Amino acid sequence: MTATAIRPPAAGEVSPPRRRLTPQRVVLHVFLAAVAIGWLFPILWAVLTSFRSYEYTATNGYVSLGGWTIDNYVTAWRQAEFGQHFLNSVYITVPAVLLTLFLASCVAFVIARFGWKLNLVLLGLFTAANLLPQQALLIPLFRLFTQVPLPAFMSDSELLYDSYWGLILINVAFQCGFCVFVLSNYMKALPRDLYEAAMVDGASVWRQYWQVTMPLCRPALAALATLEVTWIYNEFFWATVLMRTGDKFPVTSSLNNLRGEFFTDNNLVSAGSVLVAIPTLVIFFLLQRHFVRGLTLGASKG
Amino acid sequence: MSDLPLIQADRAVEPPAATTTTGGRGRRLRLLSRTDRVVITLMVLVPLLLVTALVWLPALATVLLSGTDWDGIGPLSDIDFVGGRNYSDVLTIYPPFLPAVRHNLLWLAVLFLLATPFGMFLAVLLDKELRGSRFYQTALYLPVVLSLALIGFVWQLIYSRDQGLLNAVLGTDTDWYGDPSVNIWAVMLASGWRHVGYIMLLYLAGLKGVDPSLREAAAVDGASEVKSFFRVVFPVMRPINIIVLVVTVIESLRAFDLVWVVNKGRNGLELLSALVTQNVVGEASRIGFGSALATIMLVVSLVFITIYLATVMRGEDR
């Protein structure tokens, strides 16, 4: 994603120009470095604080060095039952992302493959659904979720409310729109001859979708999967209002419960925060390319 | 994406079916086998039902409920329509409403007038061929991957009264998250911290899509860098500008996680989204108030969603 990869070198130069360091450039670098460090600072501060003992910082203040320890992590992990909450996040995120990508790619395929007038309405309905404020749907949804029964083997609440199923469904319904939008743009850019060739071979619509279109969409699917894992893992609102049992909360919304317990110990809060951030940071550093492409695919037309 | 070439291609492949002279739509459908038609229907219908049932019908129900006196518990048959009473009540006897509107507008103003231009400015700087550009970019959009709830906790380490960095450095004794005269600014700073990175990313992608020859032409004409940006590059990025505007409005309207984490949207941190939630899951559940507030949010968002759709779907039907 660096600029040099995109820009052709200026005319007459074969290799990328070796920049001389003009005073202007120095100022630019100093400014950007200062901003970048300023931007990283809150995160670095959290990491730093998480490795220091409460006793040390309580006596010496936070603007000091020393008191290094990893006890905060041990305590935070145990007190907040992070193991369970991480597992809950997995139970919700993995099925929700897979289902979102599957359903969205189905709709996107129909929109991109066929030129029906209704497709535009369909695309609008899905895309707009993703942009509505969640709170605007809360009241009827809350009522709906507390009325829909589930068999006991699916959820011990025996309701859609306070169940993983409910959270998975609402996340899928909400995230579908963005994926339909991105995927349909991506699919429209695929060469049409592919389908003609597939039709000569007598391929059914399903085979055209599954064996022709989907393999070609791998880059877009990878970008969306990265983005959706991050978003659904980070989702806070639905889990906060549609869950009740404390040990069923996914990690992000269980944070709010930690606050009371950790209120007086910021070092513990920071250790908890770092633990919660780790999965998204790992995704960010390993799959940064996909993450960035997913975001920009959504903004610029494919 | 026109429909026409495809139909002609199909005709070349399957002559008997395509010799009919009915309209385009009929012809297309006839080329599909019964199984294909069932498959297509299912591919659209299943996701559509899900989105309709969990997004669009609840949205509609919110609007309807805002005109009733339903208490949220009683049977639906007890509902009476009360017209605009909930709305007038919200305006007259619901003290947090006006602060919430003010805070939402302030939120929008700060994101739009400070965070967005700053993100754009950084994108312009980073768009130059710079060594270390990759590092700067990464640092700037790192907060974008963190949830806003988590960001609330990360900034608590800076804002907290007794253990926070800010008070330690400034020698003050302010509860930055708790004091109603400053906490909205503290929260908005944390929110802007994330927003800048997001905007920078969008504009960086937008700038890469701008034809370099445009800028070269401007430079040949003797336009300064600043001038060529505002006269040439910025207008060309119109679609991105509109998307960024809509994203900013929607984000300000949806702002919720951060204030909920701090104090559930009270005491200086009232936001429309938090008020709606308080009225549903809070101690005092007032469905009428909640729905009226939610409807206001819905209407505002739909205006901007329409602008967004008009922008991103331009030329789609051609």
B200, β-bridge pairs:
none
* Residue A84 CB neighbours (<10 A): 15
Dihedral over Cα of B25, B31, B37, B40: its sign: negative
Select the residue of A39, A134, A240 nearest B139 (Cβ to Cβ).
Answer: A39
**Residue B18 and residue B115 in one domain:** no
In a domain, B63, yes or no: no
Q: Measured between CA atoms, how close is A90 to chain B, in angstroms? A: 16
Alpha-helical segments (H) within B144-271: 148-159, 165-170, 183-208, 212-220, 225-228, 234-236, 238-254, 257-263
In a domain, B47, yes or no: no
**Residue B112 and residue B256 in one domain:** yes
pLDDT digits (tens, 9 = 90+) for B106-152: 999 999 999 999 999 999 999 887 888 889 999 998 999 999 999 99
Model confidence at B316: pLDDT above 80 = no
Q: Measured between CA atoms, how close is B153 to chain A, in angstroms? A: 7
The ipTM, to two decimals, is 0.86
Which of B236, B228, B229, B231 shows the shortest CA–CA distance to B210? B236
Q: Is the pTM of this model over 0.90?
A: no
| C-alpha span between A287 and A294 (Å, rounded) | 11
**Residue B242 and residue B108 in one domain:** yes
Question: Which residues on chain B are in Cβ contact (under 8 Å) with A114?
Answer: 28, 40
Question: Which residues on chain A are in Cβ contact (under 8 Å) with B33?
Answer: 204
Does A181 lie at the interface with B, CB-CB under 8 angstroms?
yes
CB pairs under 8 A between A and B: 331
Give chain B's domain count.
Answer: 2
The better pLDDT of the pair B288, B4 is held by B288
Which of A242, A98, A234 shows the shortest CA–CA distance to A162? A242
In a domain, B168, yes or no: yes
Q: What pLDDT was estimated at residue A206?
A: 93
**CATH pick for A79-299 out of 1.10.3720.10, 3.40.50.720, 1.10.3470.10, 3.30.420.140:** 1.10.3720.10
Give the domain range for residue B19.
1-31
In a domain, B49, yes or no: no
Instruction: Tokens for A208, please give them.
Output: 């055209």
Domain-wise residue ranges, chain A: 79-299
pLDDT digits (tens, 9 = 90+) for B171-204: 888 889 989 999 999 999 999 999 999 999 989 8
Chain A, residues 152-171, CB within 8 A of chain B, namely 169-170
DSSP code, position B252: H
- Mention every residue, 6+ apart, whose C-beta is less than 8 A from residue B27: B7, B17, B18, B20
**Residue B100 and residue B243 in one domain:** yes
Stretch among A3-12, B102-111, B227-236 having the lowest mean pLDDT: A3-12
Q: Measured between CA atoms, how close is B218 to chain A, in angstroms? A: 15
Q: Determine the residue of chain B that is closest to A147 in CA distance.
A: B73
Q: What percent of chain B has pLDDT over 90?
A: 42
Model confidence at B7: pLDDT above 50 = no
CA angle B136, B137, B142 (to 5 degrees): 105
Please provide the average confidence, as pLDDT, over all residues in chain A.
85
Looking up residue B133, the CATH number of its domain turns out to be 1.10.3720.10
Q: Measured between CA atoms, how close is A69 to chain B, in angstroms? A: 18
Select the residue of B145, B243, B272 nearest A280 (Cβ to Cβ).
Answer: B145
**Residue B113 and residue B215 in one domain:** yes
Question: Which residues on chain B are in Cβ contact (under 8 Å) with A116?
Answer: 25, 28
Q: What pLDDT was estimated at residue B25?
A: 46
CB contact under 8 A, A120 and B313: yes
pLDDT digits (tens, 9 = 90+) for A12-41: 444 445 556 788 888 999 999 999 999 999
In a domain, B86, yes or no: no
pLDDT digits (tens, 9 = 90+) for A142-186: 989 988 888 888 888 889 899 999 999 999 999 999 999 999 989
pLDDT digits (tens, 9 = 90+) for B77-101: 777 788 888 899 888 888 899 999 9
In a domain, B128, yes or no: yes
User: pLDDT band at B26, cuts 50/70/90?
Assistant: very low
Q: Measured between CA atoms, how close is A158 to chain B, in angstroms? A: 19
In a domain, B42, yes or no: no
Q: What pLDDT was estimated at residue A91?
A: 95
| C-alpha span between A123 and A183 (Å, rounded) | 11
In a domain, B274, yes or no: yes
**Residue B4 and residue B153 in one domain:** no
